[in-house]
A and B are shown apart, each in its own frame.
Chain A
Amino acid sequence: MNDAFDIRGESHIEVHKFRAGAIIIATLLALVIQSSFPIHFAKAAVLDLPLLVTIYFGLSRRNPSTGLLLGMFIGLLQDSLSGPRVPLGLYGIAKTIIGYLASSIGARLDTEHPAARFALTFAFFITHQGLIVITRRILLAQPEPWFNMHLIVAALVNALVAVFLFLLLDRLRKN
């Protein structure tokens, strides 16, 4: 998973390679922290670290195929760990699409600036929640509100955390 690949027609955009096992370890850490942290710091439940990891590696690797597969993998793990009331595929579908979008955008724009990362994470968080609501309403026939203020606050918090988290994850790059 750590080889560079060719971005067709977008060769001016740098594709980042990561240290061996960095993606797997970062994913596992995100899942463990997401699961354990809110036990002691209840407010931390607002964070969606698996989503931030999906966005980061999508934006950095800039390959839609690996981006969507990584998103699917993380989403399905999150579904599996969320208990039987969450069907397998709920987060899987949402994160697959986010992984695809992040890597497609990453291949077209320079997404290294903190402001760009903040704005993109904010937009991806809202899109992710929107996809979950669509899946729940249309595929699972479960009533779910489209919008509330909590969503905006959560998106802002996640976008802010993403700016610092992405700087930390940049250190895992090879180049």
Chain B
Amino acid sequence: MVAIPSRHKSLVLLAGVIVLQVLMLAVQIKRDSEGRLIRVWTVGAVSPFERAGSSGFGWVRNTWRHYFALQNTTRENEEIRRENDALKLQLSQLQGKAAEADRLAALLSFRQSHAEVPMIAARVIGVSMGTASRTIQLDRGERDGIRKDMGVITPDGVVGKVVETYPNEAQVLLLTDKDSGVGAMLADSRIQSPVGGQGEPLLVMKYVPNDDTVNLGERVITNGMDRIFPRDLPVGTVAEIKSGNPFKQIRIKPAANLERLEEVLVLQSMRPLETKTEESPADAKPSTPRVATPPPAVRR
């Protein structure tokens, strides 16, 4: 057997480890396998720390915002300041709790106004690491009834869909991810077209022909055709329109604040939600929407 010079051993190890990982990538692509077992173990091991980390950072943020940021305003008297600081600290904690209560109340109110639609409230305990994907991790999983491909929303609008579930956690692909998409339509003109992510804060509406009229600020809502989200949920508003070839380039500002999610609702059914619309029934546009046909799929 040929002996490897000791100075080359690490190079051989490097080559071996990389080849192993390339093979692992190839297996995942070929078999469409996602290495589920490794992920279940890792998520199971790390998520308790993530929960603790998420709560800890939330406390630090509230303290920072409401205590340290206000500290300069109380310099008049040492005695009063100390007392004041103590009160502020107490206040900051109460404000943090009040803000959380407001958010939860909004979720609860939304939940109660759609009592007929089964949905679960969940807390965000983690976000994707790095820029390769845009996902969030929820503190609810299979044991709470969450399944793959369930829609995730906030009272403001669509957030994304569940892409992986674990016993006590679930991972949600945000609308802003490059692989994400939702069946949508323009609320006024009823033109239908999927809306997807680009890995950036704004979404893109893909297949609206140049000769169709679209207005800035127009609302975009779900059309219910993706079998994940019910009709008429807010997706966002038109933020930018450019002519393209052959379709318009329309960028959408998401209705939900996807950069700062703390609590969400997971839809457990496709039952339509009764959403409040601003237009009166008389002004309502015909319910049969116009469909912007996507181009034929191109195989890579």
CA distance A8 to B58 in the complex (A): 48
Q: Please determine whether B28 and A132 come into contact, CB atoms closer than 8 angstroms.
A: no
CA distance A82 to B212 in the complex (A): 39
Q: Please determine whether B173 and A69 come into contact, CB atoms closer than 8 angstroms.
A: no
Q: Please determine whether A100 and B24 come into contact, CB atoms closer than 8 angstroms.
A: no
Interface centre among A77, A87, A91, A93 (most CB of B within 10 A): A87
CA distance A40 to B137 in the complex (A): 14
Q: Please determine whether A39 and B132 come into contact, CB atoms closer than 8 angstroms.
A: no
State the Cβ distance, B297 to closest chain A Cβ, in Å. 16
Flag A50-93 by CB within 8 Å of B: 1 or 0 each.
10000000000001110011001000111011111111111111
Interface size, chain A (Cβ < 8 Å) = 50
Q: Please determine whether A36 and B54 come into contact, CB atoms closer than 8 angstroms.
A: yes
User: Residues of A contacting B137 with CB < 8 Å?
Assistant: 35, 81
CA distance A90 to B105 in the complex (A): 40
Which of B129, B171, B260 touches A31 (beta carbons < 8 Å)?
A: B129
Q: Please determine whether B133 and A31 come into contact, CB atoms closer than 8 angstroms.
A: no
User: Residues of A contacting B38 with CB < 8 Å?
Assistant: 76, 80, 88
Which of B17, B25, B35, B53 touches A32 (beta carbons < 8 Å)?
A: B53
User: Residues of A contacting B135 with CB < 8 Å?
Assistant: 82-83, 85
Known contacts A33-B53, A136-B132; 12 further A-B pairs (Cβ under 8 A): A28-B46, A36-B125, A40-B61, A41-B57, A68-B10, A76-B21, A80-B41, A80-B42, A83-B163, A84-B34, A85-B163, A88-B39
User: Could you pull out 12 A-B pairs where Cβ atoms are within 8 angstroms?
Assistant: A37-B53, A45-B131, A68-B13, A78-B129, A81-B39, A87-B29, A88-B24, A93-B22, A100-B14, A132-B132, A136-B132, A139-B25
Q: What residues of chain A have their CB less than 8 Å away from a CB belonging to chain B?
A: 8, 28, 31-42, 45, 48, 50, 63-65, 68-69, 72, 76-78, 80-93, 96-97, 100, 104, 132, 135-136, 139-141
For the complex of A and B, 6 pairs with smallest distance between CB atoms:
A36-B53, A80-B42, A64-B10, A83-B135, A35-B126, A89-B21
